[in-house]
Structure formats: structure tokens, C-alpha cells
Structure 1
Amino acid sequence: MRKMIRVEQPRCLALRGSEWTERYNTARRLNPAATFRWYSRACYADIRTALQATTQHHCAFCDGFIGSEGRETIEHFCPKSRFPEQAFAWENLFPCCDVCQSKKLETYHELLIKPDEEDYQFENYFICNYGSGELQPAPDASEFHRLKAEKTIEVYGLNLPVRKKARIRELKKFRAVGETMHIDEFPYRYYLAP
């Protein structure tokens, strides 16, 4: 996870988010099985564009490329099924690959790390094992930060075998091209950065 600097929410969400939240909550009160939907395709496209601009088209959680390494989705950090009042809240929406989203599903835990937290810094929570490709809680982190790192790794599946192999592969590519490519052109930037 890299630090994500959140940009201003799209105008359509600022104007209609409260209305859509009330609409969704009303539908759920009338029918608890009511499903979530984006009420405007154009606004949904604007939200996706704004979110992806904040991460240079990387997943906010695994940092893999969205669209080529995983299908593009919008993650509701606090799941909309459990927190319907946050279904259209800008600060609850993240660009996400379908692997992370499929692993997390409707899980929520207060220990999960949000990559846009003001004080979030990768090295305060995680270290990279360059031999195995694994992310691990930083050994010198506080107990609380280690617990947050462990829970985030678990819930988003950040150490799935395919991800560990992909990190090692990308590190080899990154070392081979040296400084001829910008780090944003690679997935797993936290793993590649010195």
C-alpha cells in the first residue's frame, strides 16, 4: 500500500451523494435485500477517473495495475451492506482491483489500514521480504501498527502466492531497466522503492 493523497470529490458526487445515500437507505428499509447501484453512470465514470488519478491507475491496496492485472472496481472501505450511510461517501471510496475486492468482500475490521490516512506511511507498518516477495508487519512497529498490518494483509490477500511471485518478477524488471522508466510505470511500487 502506498500513501494515497485524496483529491477533491467529483462535482456530481458532491451535489448528489446525500440524495443517493438517502435513496439507497430508503430502498434498504423497504427491502433489506435491496442491492446497491450507482444511480448515474456518468458520475460513476467521473468517480473512477478521479480515484484512479490519485493512485496513477494502481490498486489502493495491493498497488497492482488496475485494468491489466485486475479488473477495475471501486472499493467501499466500510462495506455498503454494513454501512449504508457511507455508500456514496467520497472518503469511503478507493480504486481497487477485483482480486483485493473479491478477497475482502463485505469484511470490515477497525484495524484495517486506509491508504489515505493522514499519518499513513508504508514503513511504519510493513517491510518487504525480497527473498519471498512477502509483505510482513514491520518488526520495529508498535504492537498496534503490527496488528493493523497483519489484519490488512489478511483481509486484502496481500500475500497470496501469485502476488508474491509477481512482486519478485517486477523487482527483477525494475532492476534491469534501472532509471529508464518511472516507478509509476510498475506495479508494487512500495516493493520497488528503496
Structure 2
Amino acid sequence: MVYNLIPVRQQPEPPDFNSGVRTPGSAFLSQTPDPTKRQWDKNRYWKSCLSDLYRSYDEICAYTGIWISFHGATVDHFLPKSRHPQGAYEWENYRLSCDRANNNKGDSTDVLDPFLIQPDYFVLNFPSLLVKPNASLQADEKRKVERTIAILRLNEECFIQDRLHWLREYIYTQDTHFLRRHAPFIAYELERQHLESSIITMMRV
């Protein structure tokens, strides 16, 4: 496992990344330093490393802490390529993201970096399954967490249902390893809040 909770531990660049992504991407940018959306769309060299990104980060969305299928996985440019074209073809700027979180993020630069946030910045409320800032955070940190939650829309019904799905699987099976593998954020929060057993009664499922 890459990680059991937010934050995400950055993984090394794949051996063929330079030849498959960086080199052709740099050549494109040297000829087109300020690409239009259409030009970006024709030069999506980052897509060739999606399978590497998916494997490297254990198939877990960096923003939700939930397993995603390969079909629903995307390469998120943490620094948006529209504002930071120099990072468009750099592995260190990529975050594995589900398509919905990536679309919600858009070109925002106000989202906290999953690589840099501190443990327990984000907490999960039970039984609502709403993501919230840790009550112990300083005011400025709390605002940043709230802003991230709002931009990514982490408390939209679709994300709540995703959490509920994996939590139900855990309640039915009592398989902690399975939950850590597919929903590490939920697993961590259950353990942190000492709810591994009482969650069954709490959720009434």
C-alpha cells in the first residue's frame, strides 16, 4: 500500500516517463508555449502514463481516499496546465483522481495538495459520512480545508454514497484489510475514532 490515509506519499517517476511524456510534451510546448484548449487536447501525452499512475497510487483517488476503477481514473494536474504549462508533462505535478473530483477541481489553485497536507486535517463524521475540518485546526488552516471540501464538493451525495458503499462492505464482512485497501480514509477514521465495532449499531445497516 502507498498509504493508509490522507496525506498521500509521492511515488517515483516511472522509467519510461521521460521518453513517453516529458520529451514529446516539452517539444510541443517549445513550439506552442501558450496552448489553447484544442491544442492541449491534441497533445495529451500525460494520458500514456495513466496506467502507471493508477498502479503507483494503488488505485486510490488522492482527493477522496476511495478506490476508483481504471475507467473512472484521470490524471489531475495539481497545478493547472492552463496556468502552469511547464508542469503539464511533469510526473510530480500529477495526482491520481476520480473524474468527478478532477472536474470539480477544474483550474482551481485553492485545493490543498494531498502530498503536503498534515494527517487529521480532514476528518469523517459518523454516521453522516460528511468530510469536515478537524476542530483542532487553527482558523487559517480550517478555512483552507473548508475551501478544499467546497471546491471538490466532497460532501455531494455521490461521494457520500461511495463512502456508504465501502462502509457497508466492512460492516457485512468485518474485514479491516479489505476496507483499508478500498477506502483507506474511512478505515483510518474508524480506527482513529475507535468505532470499528460500534459502527455497526451506529449505522443501522
C-alpha deviation, 1:158, in angstroms: 0.9
| AA in 2 matched with 1:89 | E
Partner of 1:94: 95
Distance in 2 (alpha carbons) for counterparts of 1:163 and 1:33: 28
1:90–1:133 Cα change, 3 Å: same
For 1:27 and 1:169, locate their aligned partners in 2 and report how far apart those are by CA, in whole Å.
45
What residue in structure 2 maps to residue 190 of structure 1? 185
How has the CA–CA distance of structure 1 residues 88 and 172 changed in structure 2, closer, same or farther, with 3 Å as cutoff? same
> What pairs with 1:7-86 in structure 2 (closer than 5 Å)?
7-15=11-19, 17=22, 20-24=25-29, 26-29=31-34, 32=36, 34-36=38-40, 37-39=43-45, 44-45=47-48, 47-67=49-69, 71-86=72-87
Deviation at 1:144, TM superposition (A): 2.5
Q: Which residue of 2 aligns with 1:177?
A: 173
Q: 1:73-101 CA deviation, whole Å, 9 max, x = no partner?
A: 10001111111111112111011111101
SS at structure 1 position matched to 2:131: strand
2:201 aligns to what?
none
CA shift, 1:154, in A, is 1.3
Under a length normalisation based on structure 2, what TM-score does the superposition of the two structures give? 0.76
* Secondary structure at the counterpart of residue 16 of structure 2: helix
Q: Structure 1 residues 180, 5: CA separation in 2 closer, same or farther (over 3 Å shift)? A: closer
Following superposition, the deviation at residue 104 of structure 1 comes to: 1.4
> TM-score, structure 1 length as denominator?
0.80
**How much has 1:164 moved relative to structure 2?**
1.6
Q: 1:131 to 1:148 in 2, by over 3 A?
A: same
* Number of equivalenced pairs: 182
Q: Distance in 2 between matches of 1:33 and 1:97?
A: 21
In structure 2, what is the equivalent of residue 165 of structure 1?
161
State the match for 1:121 in structure 2.
Answer: 118
For residues 120-139 of structure 1, what are the structure 2 equivalents within 5 Å? 120-123=117-120, 125-139=121-135
Greater alpha carbon shift after TM alignment, 56-65 vs 92-101: 56-65
- For residues 162 and 37 of structure 2, the distance between their equivalents in structure 1, rounded to whole angstroms, comes to 38
Q: Is the 8 A contact 2:105 2:152 kept in 1?
A: yes
Structure 1 residue aligned with 2:202? none
Q: Conserved in 1, the CA contact under 8 Å of 2:170 and 2:178?
A: no
Structure 1 contact 77–94 (Cα < 8 Å) conserved? yes
Offset of residue 32 of structure 1: 4.2
2:132 partner SS: strand
Distance 1:171 1:180, change over 3 A: closer
Contact 1:57 1:66 in 2 (8 A): yes
How far 1:191 moved relative to its partner?
1.8
CA gap 1:25/1:143 in 2 versus in 1, 3 angstroms: farther
Identity of aligned residues (%): 20
Structure 2 unmatched runs, 5+ = 192-205
Q: Which runs of 5+ in 1 are unaligned?
A: none
